[in-house]
Amino acid sequence: MSADLINAAERAAIQRLARALALPAFEPGWVWLAGAGPGDPGLITALGLHAVSRADVVLYDALVNKTLLELARPGAELIYAGKRAGKRSCKQSDISRTLVSLARKGKCVLRLKGGDPFVFGRGAEEALSLARAQVPFRIVPGVTAGIGGLAYAGIPATHRDTNHVVTFLTGHGADGKLPDLDWTSISRGSPTIVLYMARKYAGEIAAKLMAAGRDTDEAAAVISNASFPDQTVRITTLRELGAAAAESTAPAMLVVGENVKLHASLDWLGALAGKTLNPEPLSHTKISDAG
Ligand code: SAH
pLDDT tens readout for residues 180-190:
999 999 999 99
Per-residue pLDDT at 235 exceeds 70: yes
- What is the number of the ligand 1 atom nearest to the C-alpha of 123? 1
CATH class, 3-143 region: alpha beta
Q: Residue 282's CB: how many other CB atoms inside 10 A?
A: 17
Give the Å distance between the CA of 64 and the centre of ligand 1: 10
Asked if 238 contacts 215 with a C-beta cutoff of 8 angstroms, the reply is: yes
CA gap 235, 266 in Å, rounded: 13
Q: Residue 207's CB: how many other CB atoms inside 10 A?
A: 16
- Length of the chain, please? 291
Residue closest via CA to ligand 1's atom 13 equals 197
List 40, 61, 116, 267, catalytic entry: 61
- Per-residue pLDDT tens digits for 153-181: 999 999 999 999 999 999 999 899 999 99
Asked if 53 contacts 14 with a C-beta cutoff of 8 angstroms, the reply is: yes
Q: Is 91 a catalytic residue?
A: no
Give the Å distance between the CA of 145 and the centre of ligand 1: 5
Can you name the CATH fold of 146-272?
3.30.950
DSSP reduced 3-state for 145: helix
Question: Lowest-pLDDT range, 177-181, 250-254, 280-284?
Answer: 280-284
Instruction: Specify the pLDDT at position 104.
Output: 98
Nearest alpha carbon to residue 210 among 238, 182, 235, 236: 238
- Residue 252 Cβ contacting ligand 1 at under 6 Å: yes
Instruction: Specify the pLDDT at position 285.
Output: 56
Give the Å distance between the CA of 49 and the centre of ligand 1: 20
Question: Lowest-pLDDT range, 91-100, 112-121, 146-155, 280-289?
Answer: 280-289
Instruction: Specify the pLDDT at position 240.
Output: 98
Instruction: Specify the pLDDT at position 88.
Output: 53
Domain spans of the chain? 3-143, 146-272
Residue closest via CA to ligand 1's atom 2 equals 115
Q: Residue 78's CB: how many other CB atoms inside 10 A?
A: 17
Per-residue pLDDT at 284 exceeds 70: no
Per-residue pLDDT at 105 exceeds 50: yes
The percent of residues above 90 in pLDDT, for the chain, comes to 87
CA gap 264, 51 in Å, rounded: 38
Please, what is the end-to-end C-alpha distance for the chain in angstroms? Answer: 52
Give the Å distance between the CA of 38 and the centre of ligand 1: 7
- Residue 225 Cβ contacting ligand 1 at under 6 Å: yes
What average pLDDT does the chain have?
93
The packing angle between helices 8-20 and 46-54, to 10°, is: 130
Per-residue pLDDT at 27 exceeds 90: yes
- Per-residue pLDDT tens digits for 36-95: 999 999 999 999 999 999 999 999 999 999 999 999 999 999 999 986 544 555 788 899
Show the 3-state SS of 212-279: CCCCCCCEEEEEECCCCCCCEEEEEECCCHHHHHHHCCCCEEEEECHHHHHHHHHCHHHHHCCCCCCC
Q: Is 83 a catalytic residue?
A: yes
Per-residue pLDDT at 288 exceeds 90: no
Phi, psi angles (nearest 5°) of residue 20: -60, -35
Instruction: Specify the pLDDT at position 6.
Output: 87
pTM of the model: 0.94
